[in-house]
Amino acid sequence: MRTRAALLLALALLITACQADVCPPDSIVYVDDVASLPDLASVLDGRPTPTPTTMQIGTKTIEVDRVIRGPLCNDRWQGRVYVACELQIAAWTEEAGSNFLEGCDLILEPGTVVYVAAHNNAPYCKGCSACHGGGTIGPSPSGEPGD
Res 140: pLDDT: 38
Measuring CA to CA, how many Å separate 11 from each of 19, 21, 83?
13, 19, 30
pLDDT-flagged residues of the chain (< 70) = 1-21, 96, 126-147
Res 54: pLDDT: 94
The full DSSP string for 116-128 is EGGGTTEEESS-G
Instruction: Give the separation between CA 119 and CA 18, rounded to whole angstroms.
Output: 10
Res 145: pLDDT: 35
Res 63: pLDDT: 95
Res 93: pLDDT: 76
Residue 100 CA, chain-centre distance (Å), reads: 11
Res 71: pLDDT: 93
Res 130: pLDDT: 54
- The pTM assigned to this predicted structure is 0.71
Res 92: pLDDT: 79
Instruction: Give the separation between CA 91 and CA 31, rounded to whole angstroms.
Output: 5
